[in-house]
Amino acid sequence: MLSLKKYLTEGLLQFTILLSLIGVRVDVDTYLTSQLPPLREIILGPSSAYTQTQFHNLRNTLDGYGIHPKSIDLDNYFTARRLLSQVRALDRFQVPTTEVNAWLVHRDPEGSVSGSQPSAGLALESSSGLQDVTGPDNGVRESETEQGFSEDLEDLGAVAPPVSGDLTKEDIDLIDILWRQDIDLGAGREVFDYSHRQKEQDVDKDLRDGGEQEDTWAGEGAEALARNLLVDGETGESFPAQVPGGEDQTALSLEECLRLLEATCPFGENAEFPADVSSLTEVVPSESEPPALENNLLSPLLTGTESPFDLEQQWQDLMSIMEMQAMEVNSSASEILYSAPPGDPLSTNYSLAPNTPINQNVSLHQASLGGCSQDFSLFSPEVESLSVAGSSTLLPLVPSNSTSLNSTFGSTNLAGLFFPPQLNGTANDTAGPELPDPLGGLLDEAMLDEISLMDLAIEEGFNPVQASQLEDEFDSDSGLSLDSSHSPSSLSSSEGSSTSSSSSSSSSSSSSSSSTSSSASSSFSEEGAVGYSSDSETLDLEEAEGAVGYQPEYSKFCRMSYQDPSQLSCLPYLEHVGHNHTYNMAPSALDAADLPPPSALKKGSKEKQADFLDKQMSRDEHRARAMKIPFTNDKIINLPVEEFNELLSKYQLSEAQLSLIRDIRRRGKNKMAAQNCRKRKLDTILNLERDVEDLQRDKARLLREKVEFLRSLRQMKQKVQSLYQEVFGRLRDENGRPYSPSQYALQYAGDGSVLLIPRTMADQQARRQERKPKDRRK
């Protein structure tokens, strides 16, 4: 696990840094901290749709967002520097490969690829290479690349499906029928030949003409190539992490990132990327200037929604650790009230002037808690100095009078403490008018539960240790929430999921939900609902397109655009095995299965091709062939009703044939509908998942805020307590003697005055105040 983390983190760091340089939102924080689950999800991804689209959208989302300042420490800074240099090295290493593979890819359309079968890795790199070489505009370039690939694959696909060697009489008849049909439609063989040679789209004629080529292609080479190109498609989607064998892919992605950076680099005019990198590296500050790193390297990523969250979390963790240590240190002395243990940050913070920034033990958490110190600032400096002195003088006083003091504060519930009933007595001139306001403001918060908790702590002796224990319970609670918010897919992954799901839900299916992100919507509308575009384009292209069944593997790992049927054509050949019950099966493929000139087929591949064909053909296709349906299932399914009826009217079809055709059409449409439905369902689930993550994050944040309030409240109480001690200790009766804490207590009045009352009365008041909130709660 650790090694995995290190390995993944490094690669991802590189990628992330580069993405950040481009301005893409990346939650580096998630990577840098020990959040392994999201990492694992991104790389090994349980649902690749999830992560894939996430990457997609990471790239598309150009609003900087999400890196947390907390991750900018020296370690990370050094890591960033080191990784940047590595990135540069990677770029250097990758360039030659890129060129070579670009050449390979470009050779594909010329049909000469069969000789040079690239390995999977090569093909993979070739895609990025192709992308690298193509135009400067990234988006256009990418789409162009995909288009090019689709065409390439189309071409490959045109020959890839093996052709059944053993032709029955029936087959030959069907061939003739189809041929006649083509002629009826005005397409002679020459047209197909031409289109094959020129456009390389016509699978049908390709198969008729090039039997030898088919044999060449139908072999393992074609499959390997298909696989490679599948990987190509993935890389084309810039989703390297999904691909097994991470290092290379990561490098490629980095390279791609560098290219992207080259195109979109906000740093200016540097034309060459290495120069960019170096300049960026220079922009990255020297070790003595961490803020510069923050600003220049990561600032595009800082937008803060997540940032305070994680910063606070870190403070929180730090606090917890400190408190734990304090608890351990003080466990033995915990009985001593008010003894401020050296390790207790709260006590220390409290005993010193709260606003003093030079408090080493001050809870870092409160550094971000402006309200707390502000509240303290409401105390007059005199009081604060008194409190400082008082806390020190309290130490010897407490053991002797612990019970009385405890009863004084413990029996006074918070409301009573802060809003005591008006009682007659002498108003204290020091703290009287100032006390209620800040404290009353605190009470305005809806934290009655916590207050009661704190009351419990107070009642149990105002023991800071116990209070902190209580608080730690909250901490652990929030910690759990934090974990949960991080665990499933954490911040970054949740972002990814959100984008993914949102992009998904914005699919072409109109009924699909709701969601938001518009920038990413294109990514899913591309991958989107399995549409059988029944427009004329389909008619034109369907001859060329291969089987367009919804390919699970492909859709999983390679969510590129296949709304366009021409791009779809690559799919079936990418998934060379597996069920391919495609209704969009290229008529040419069907025809080819039936039509190939027997002489052109080589004996060796006959059986293989037959098997392959059988697997490729859906049941309905088999039925259609058996029933001698004179047109393709693709047409049956995808034609608009009018054209479909028109087509039916052209032929004298038996009732059984008509029935079968209608069944095929119904099933085909329903199949598409089912696919869309499932996709929609998945999107819904992903959206829900994202919502849950958001809610968990909110919950964690609220819990943290709650704990912060509790903490500040505790400090307030301590402050009040010290002031109480101070004031009480200075009170003198008419004889000039101090009042005994066991007999008298100070009572705060609602108007801010402080009354000195006998302890019996104070206890009664306290009990009365104690009941009120409980009743109110019920």
Partner DNA sequence: ACTACTTGTCATACG
Partner DNA sequence: CACGTATGACAAGTA
Nearer to DNA, 250 or 512 (CB): 512
Among 25, 680, 701, 719, indicate the residue that binds DNA (CB under 7 A).
680
Q: At closest approach, how far in Å is the CB of 46 from DNA?
A: 9
Q: At closest approach, how far in Å is the CB of 581 from DNA?
A: 3
Among 334, 494, 555, 722, indicate the residue that binds DNA (CB under 7 A).
555
Q: At closest approach, how far in Å is the CB of 448 from DNA?
A: 42
Q: How many whole angstroms separate alpha carbon 716 and alpha carbon 757? A: 23
Q: At closest approach, how far in Å is the CB of 357 from DNA?
A: 54
Span of 3-11, 194-202, 239-247, 615-623 interacting with DNA by CB under 7 A: 615-623
Q: At closest approach, how far in Å is the CB of 618 from DNA?
A: 5
Nearer to DNA, 477 or 553 (CB): 553
Q: At closest approach, how far in Å is the CB of 655 from DNA?
A: 15
Nearer to DNA, 475 or 621 (CB): 621
Q: At closest approach, how far in Å is the CB of 648 from DNA?
A: 10
Q: How many whole angstroms separate alpha carbon 584 and alpha carbon 211? A: 23
1 binds DNA (CB under 7 A): no
Q: At closest approach, how far in Å is the CB of 636 from DNA?
A: 10
Nearer to DNA, 579 or 768 (CB): 579
Nearer to DNA, 73 or 553 (CB): 553
C-beta neighbour count of 721 within 10 angstroms: 23
Q: At closest approach, how far in Å is the CB of 187 from DNA?
A: 25
Q: How far is CA 4 from CA 8, 15, 37, 39, 55, in A?
A: 6, 16, 11, 10, 20
161 binds DNA (CB under 7 A): no
Q: At closest approach, how far in Å is the CB of 665 from DNA?
A: 6
Q: At closest approach, how far in Å is the CB of 545 from DNA?
A: 15
199 binds DNA (CB under 7 A): no
Residue pointed to by tokens 């392959």: 612
Among 667, 697, 714, 719, indicate the residue that binds DNA (CB under 7 A).
667
756: phi then psi, degrees, rounded to nearest 5 = -100, 115
Site for DNA in 703-722 (CB under 7 A): none
**How many Cα atoms sit within 13 Å of 257 on the Cβ side?**
31
Q: At closest approach, how far in Å is the CB of 555 from DNA?
A: 6
Nearer to DNA, 264 or 684 (CB): 684
Q: At closest approach, how far in Å is the CB of 549 from DNA?
A: 4
Number of residues that bind DNA (CB under 7 A): 42
Three-state DSSP at 320 gives helix
Tell me 219's DSSP state. S
**Cβ atoms of residues 84 and 281 within 8 Å:** yes
Q: How many whole angstroms separate alpha carbon 337 and alpha carbon 696? A: 38
550 binds DNA (CB under 7 A): yes
618 binds DNA (CB under 7 A): yes
H or E stretch covering 757: strand 754-758
β-pair type (754-758, 744-748): antiparallel
620 binds DNA (CB under 7 A): yes
Nearer to DNA, 292 or 682 (CB): 682
Amino acid identity of 90? L
- Burial environment of residue 147 by CB neighbours within 10 A (0 to 12, 13 to 18, 19 or more): middle
**Cβ atoms of residues 53 and 503 within 8 Å:** yes
Span of 279-287, 342-350, 507-515, 733-741 interacting with DNA by CB under 7 A: 507-515
Q: How far is CA 441 from CA 3, 419, 434, 447, in A?
A: 51, 11, 12, 12
Q: How far is CA 178 from CA 164, 591, 662, in A?
A: 16, 7, 19
81 binds DNA (CB under 7 A): no
C-beta neighbour count of 198 within 10 angstroms: 9
Among 676, 715, 722, 725, indicate the residue that binds DNA (CB under 7 A).
676
**What DSSP letter does each residue of 253-298 carry, written as one string?**
HHHHHHHHHHHH-TT-S--SHHHHHHHHHHHSPPTT-HHHIIIIII
Q: At closest approach, how far in Å is the CB of 149 from DNA?
A: 21
- 71 closest CA partner among 361, 306, 323, 319: 306
Q: At closest approach, how far in Å is the CB of 49 from DNA?
A: 9
677 binds DNA (CB under 7 A): yes
Span of 139-147, 332-340, 429-437, 505-513 interacting with DNA by CB under 7 A: 505-513
Q: At closest approach, how far in Å is the CB of 161 from DNA?
A: 16
C-beta neighbour count of 611 within 10 angstroms: 12
- 672 closest CA partner among 634, 641, 622: 634
Span of 98-106, 447-455, 459-467, 503-511 interacting with DNA by CB under 7 A: 503-511
Task: Tokens for 575, please give them.
Answer: 């998934």
Task: Tokens for 733, please give them.
Answer: 């009766």
Nearer to DNA, 313 or 555 (CB): 555
Q: At closest approach, how far in Å is the CB of 580 from DNA?
A: 7
675 binds DNA (CB under 7 A): yes
Dihedral of the CA atoms 91, 96, 98, 104 (nearest 10)? -170
**How many Cα atoms sit within 13 Å of 482 on the Cβ side?**
23
Site track 567-586 with DNA (rule: CB under 7 A), x = hit: ----------xxxxxxx---
Q: How many whole angstroms separate alpha carbon 291 and alpha carbon 283? A: 11
674 binds DNA (CB under 7 A): yes
608 binds DNA (CB under 7 A): no
Span of 472-480, 538-546, 613-621, 745-753 interacting with DNA by CB under 7 A: 613-621
Measured in Å, how far apart are the chain's first and last C-alpha atoms?
Answer: 49
Among 666, 730, 771, 774, indicate the residue that binds DNA (CB under 7 A).
666
506 binds DNA (CB under 7 A): no
Among 615, 651, 653, 731, indicate the residue that binds DNA (CB under 7 A).
615
Which residues, including other chains, have CB under 8 Å from residue 602's CB and lie 6 or more apart? Answer: 211, 212, 215
557 binds DNA (CB under 7 A): no
Nearer to DNA, 233 or 300 (CB): 233
Span of 66-74, 455-463, 551-559, 727-735 interacting with DNA by CB under 7 A: 551-559
Among 9, 181, 242, 551, indicate the residue that binds DNA (CB under 7 A).
551
Span of 170-178, 229-237, 667-675, 759-767 interacting with DNA by CB under 7 A: 667-675
Q: How far is CA 157 from CA 126, 194, 223, 668, in A?
A: 19, 18, 10, 22
Q: How many whole angstroms separate alpha carbon 429 and alpha carbon 79? A: 58
Span of 15-23, 91-99, 132-140, 664-672 interacting with DNA by CB under 7 A: 664-672
C-beta neighbour count of 536 within 10 angstroms: 10
**Cβ atoms of residues 383 and 748 within 8 Å:** no
644 binds DNA (CB under 7 A): yes
Nearer to DNA, 107 or 615 (CB): 615
Query: Helices (H), strands (E): how many in the chain?
Result: 36, 2
- 89 closest CA partner among 23, 171, 14: 14
Q: At closest approach, how far in Å is the CB of 682 from DNA?
A: 9
Q: Can you give the binding site for DNA, defined by CB under 7 A?
A: 509-511, 529, 549-553, 555, 577-583, 615, 618-620, 640-641, 644-645, 663, 665-678, 680-681
